[in-house]
Amino acid sequence: MSTGFFDGIEKIKYEGAQSTNPMAFHHYNPDEIVMGKRMEEHLRFAVAWWHSFAWEGGDPFGGQTFVRPWYPQDDMERAKLKADVAFEMFDILGAPYFCWHDADIRPEQGSFAGNLATLNEITDYIGEKMEAGGPDLLWGTANMFSHRRYMSGASTNPDPDVFAFAAATVKSCMDATHKLGGQNYVLWGGREGYETLLNTDLGAELDHMGRFLNMVVDYKHKIGFKGAILVEPKPQEPSKHQYDYDAATCIGFLRKYGLENEVKLNLEQGHAILAGHSFEHEIATAVAEGMLGSIDMNRNDYQSGWDTDQFPNNTPEVALAYYHILKSGGFTTGGTNFDAKVRRQSIDAADLVAAHVGGMDICARGLKAAAEMIEDGGLESALSERYDGWNSDSAKTMLGSDLGAITQRVLDESINPEPRSGRQEILENYVNRFV
């Protein structure tokens, strides 16, 4: 039964690149075969419950701009209406997956027991909708950053009672994710960091976070959860400095605490930019270490210094991201979650749908461009040529040698290399042929 929120908006169909219909897919054709697989299976799109349905349109300088029939989000009846609206939009978009935080789908009760009861009630309700033909759950997670109890962190909090509350909350969210057949469980440490080192025992906090994550992994195996455990890097905001700064930092952390074979990364475009990286850099770093799990697709405003979570609209950026994903073999349990929100002036239901339509189209264009580059082989050929010297017997021998032997060889062979061009402009021109 329709909620009436999307009145007048029909199911989105693929109409092709020549269509001028703003409520149609121009590039995303779920059944199109790309590199031997349906486009839908490559991209594995998910809608984020928090930005699409729980966010009220506020920013650091002003409050709510959206007027929704499920506001205020403080009781179960409105939580169920919000779920009805969410599943209606999933159907309109043909989205195969969705994602949530516990605080997005249930009202805050002020106690763990109350939150647990409402979480169980709403996930039972969501489960019924999934069984009736709704999309699957890509991942669930716990919001351990919004409530004031987490102002000094969750697993890194100096108060052990907050650690305990956070641990119980994660257990409840893992149980709910498992119950709904979720394919991953994500931890984002929005307050796992510090504002000042004057009141922070950094070593103790890192050890507590490492122990917390080991508990999560242990519980995953205890309940038989087959999905992946993922952590999400971000360098700052809301904390001045967050411990999960970027992909490389997270990988070092996981190795330090013996989790490198148990936990992978959920990478976000906007977070990569805040860390001073490109999205493809973060993806390539995770791929190189075998730790790519899933991605949050969005973009930042390059003229702003904060995480604006806008829908993607830059095909070249997206193409290079999917290039590295496809090169790694593509997603397994992960996918493309739109951790993106419409602008606070975009107050209509049509804006919400159109934003996802455009984002899905951009990702489809990027995926196809990435596949064409891989099939053409130009970048791989250039890379192979640049590193070809390392295939020689002398180079392989050198890696097993020592500084003294290498020095003697340089003297004996009068080695005095001339630099060779990196051909960056030629390769950038190459990429532009596809995007």
Q: Per the residue annotation, which of 27, 51, 102, 104 is the catalytic one?
A: 104
Of the listed 27, 42, 51, 101, which one is catalytic?
Answer: 101
Told to judge if 104 belongs to the known catalytic residues of this protein, a careful annotator would answer yes
Tokens in use for 420?
Answer: 């060779």
CA dist., res. 14 & res. 10, Å (int): 12
Catalytic site includes residue 101: yes
Q: What residues are labeled active site?
A: 101, 104
